[in-house]
Amino acid sequence: MKFAVVLGTRPEIIKCAPILWLLRARGLDHFVVHTGQHYSESMDALFFEDLGLEAPRYNLGLGGRLFGRQVSEMTRATFALLQTERPDVVIVQGDTNSVLAGVLAASKAGIRIAHVEAGLRSFDPEMSEELNRVLADSLADELLAPTETSRKNLLDEGHDDARILVTGNTVVDALLKMLPVARARSRVLDQHGLRGEAGYGLVTLHRPELVDNEQRLRGAIEGMARVSAGGLRLVFPVHPRTKKQLIAFGLEARLGAVRGLLPIEPQGYLDFLALQASAQLLITDSGGIQEEACVLRIPCVTLRENTERPETLRVGANILAGYSPDALTVAVQHQLQREHQWPDVFGEGHSAEKILARLDPQNQA
């Protein structure tokens, strides 16, 4: 059996890694199509290196384009490759434009599609990822849902239960494997003087709903300024989209002037895991970081009005603060005081095995 994995962004590289590790360990025929949606060294090559992955067989180099052009060019190029390679199954993960292109191309080529992380819903029609999720789930043959909540979302939309399997989230597999490596190899805490009693919070922001909106981005900086003035240092790896928007809105100097806040480059997976694992708190609008915070039992504050990861809210690991600086400071106080104890909601780390057992029952370890 021949597998194709279509991916394009930082979180897809991380969450597909456990599947790629297993395909390689079992000697199964497979190849990767990288759309090139993310392309900067710190968003792309660094992850292949940190996660011990081979360079993709194909890289389409289609980053930095607007939606229509990006999805159409990715679909066309992926379709052509799938026609040549004729894999038995195309695996996609998540909800990006690369996923949408992958499912459109595979569907037209008549190839079986497996959607990993199926069934997530923010129920926010304004969010472009929500459309990608709904479309990917409607075209996929195998709906690999991370949790019972995501399975229920799929059932509520009328998807056949026979197409759904609850697998846990592959991010747990990736995190559990890489955390000891990060602890042994990463020097990031020493590099930035982050060891010791004082502690720090770790921040990431990249959603267009926040960073493409000047008032909200200004509000987030103001909120961070209040949190750091309250005594919690903040470390902020700045996503390239956010960097671009800070420059466009003339907010770089304001950010740089916040005392106790350290803006840094986007980090590789090992350094970022080391930063997360020792943080007192995460402040983010990232999907994957809401999950990782929950797994690591680090309290999280999410700067959004909704989340497609409601499991994290239910167990108290995460709290939604919307976009106001006041709400951010209240949420931070609340999360800093809470116990770091809650149940696992994304599985215990054997998701990739479950996924491959479903896709290729003949080839089990």
> Active-site residue numbers?
206
Q: Does 307 help bind ligand UD1 (rule: CB under 6 A)?
A: no
Burial of 66 (0-12, 13-18, 19+ CB in 10 A): exposed
Q: Please identify, among the stretches 5-13, 82-90, 213-221, 274-282, the one whose residues bind ligand UD1 according to the rule CB under 6 A.
A: 5-13
Q: Which does 14 bind (CB under 5 to 8 A by kind): ligand UDP, ligand UD1, none?
A: ligand UDP
Residue 134: which residues within 8 A CB-CB, separation 6 or more? 121, 157
Residue 52 CA, distance from chain mean position:
18
Tokens, residue 217: 């981005």
Q: Does 63 help bind ligand UDP (rule: CB under 6 A)?
A: no
At 103, give phi and psi (nearest 5°): -75, -35
Within positions 285 to 304, which residues make up the interface with ligand UDP, using CB under 6 A? 286-289, 292
Within positions 128 to 187, which residues make up the interface with ligand UD1, using CB under 6 A? 128-129
- CB-nearer residue toward ligand UDP: 142 or 308: 308
Instruction: Starting at the earlier edge strand, list the strands of the sheet with 164-166.
Output: 58-59, 29-34, 2-7, 89-93, 112-116, 142-145, 164-166
Q: Does 237 help bind ligand UD1 (rule: CB under 6 A)?
A: no
- CB-nearer residue toward ligand UD1: 77 or 194: 77
Q: Does 10 help bind ligand UD1 (rule: CB under 6 A)?
A: yes
Angle at 125 between CA 155 and CA 105, to 5 degrees: 70
| Candidate residues 5, 6, 14, 251; the one interacting with ligand UDP per rule CB under 6 A | 14
> Going residue by residue from 256 to 275, which x/- string records binding to ligand UDP, judged by CB under 6 A?
----------xx-x--x---
Q: Which does 39 bind (CB under 5 to 8 A by kind): ligand UD1, ligand UDP, none?
A: ligand UD1
Q: How far apart are alpha carbons 283 and 321 in whole angstroms? A: 10
The angle that helices 214-229 and 240-248 make with each other, rounded to 10 degrees, is 100
- CB-nearer residue toward ligand UDP: 87 or 237: 237
Shortest Å, Cβ 68 to ligand UD1: 12
Shortest Å, Cβ 95 to ligand UD1: 6
Angle at 260 between CA 333 and CA 42, to 5 degrees: 100
